[in-house]
Structure 1
Amino acid sequence: MQQTLSQQDFAFTCRVPTRWSDLDMLGHVNNARFFSFDESARLEYFGELMRGDPTFWKERGFILARIECDFLAQLHHPAVVDIGFRIARIGRSSMNTLAGMFVDGKPVAVSRGVLVWFNYELQKPQPVPDDVRALIRAREVIAPEEN
């Protein structure tokens, strides 16, 4: 990872406690769980952002096209993971996401994803709407790249 990750980079955060069932046979939180942490933050981010839009999740929204994760430190149970989530780039019909996962202020993982804005009725990608772009721009402490 090239940059130093800080909780202050994220306007949106949520907390997720680890569970006993998250552990692998070595006693670590299993790496697959970090994708679930990202999912929790992503859904809460957009749930709050689009709360006033009755068409969201019914007619329009996004689909996850890609996700990856860098594991920075071992995570043991019990712990509370603070997840910062943001939109790092907005393209024509896609968005790049960044989620920083922290325990006691220290980064334990960072995930990056690609979301595609999607029309559920037509079952095809569409350009990210101007109203969604404006909501994202207004929320973020680090302005997303746009192209």
Structure 2
Amino acid sequence: MTDYERFVHHVPVRWSDMDAYGHVNNARFLTLYEEARVAMFFVGARKHGLGSFEEGIVIARHEIDYLRPVDYGDPVRVEMWISEVRAASFTVAYELFDADVLASRAKSVCVPYHLAQGHPRRLTDAEREFLRPYVAS
């Protein structure tokens, strides 16, 4: 049992995600993770009355471990939590499951960003409060 929550999102696998070998292309894993991340920081945050993440988040780093191929078919399940929070960035950790089998792990360093002004910014207190239940300690 963990001491933090995981945000869970099911992402459909599209025919366009496939490579010549009939598996999800390695680069398309980033798209699957992105769709889950958008669900967390746009839809999930909005349900908590927080819209500031929609104003801009940029990715400073991605790291992916591929554990097994993912075939075309049912949606994959992406579970996410926050592995690190800093003043002006946070790291999202992911596990991607295909038919309840762990297929990939990843991390993304996310930076809150003023898109209109063109520069990074610090996390707000409200954003930290939204992240708090998902932070692995």
Partner of 2:99: 104
Specify whether residues 56 and 121 from structure 1 end up closer, same or farther in structure 2 by C-alpha distance, changes over 3 A only: same
Structure 1 residue ranges without an equivalent (≥5): 1-5
TM-score (norm 2): 0.86
- Correspondence for 1:57: 54
Structure 2 Cα separation of the partners of residues 120 and 63 of structure 1: 9
Q: CA deviation at 1:57?
A: 2.4
Structure 1 runs (4+) deviating above 3 angstroms are 53-56
- Specify the alignment match of 1:17 in structure 2: 12
TM-score (norm 1): 0.80
2:79 and 2:35 map into 1 onto residues whose CA distance is: 11
Question: CA deviation digits over 1:10-43, x for unaligned, max 9?
Answer: 5211111212222111111111110001100110
Aligned alpha-carbon RMSD (Å): 2.2
Within 5 Å, which residues of 2 pair with 1:14-93? 14-51=9-46, 52-58=49-55, 61-93=56-88
Q: Percent identity?
A: 29
Change (3 A) 1:128 1:144: farther
Alignment pair present for 1:94 and 2:85: no
SS for the counterpart of 1:13 is: strand
Q: Work out the number of aligned pairs and report it.
A: 134
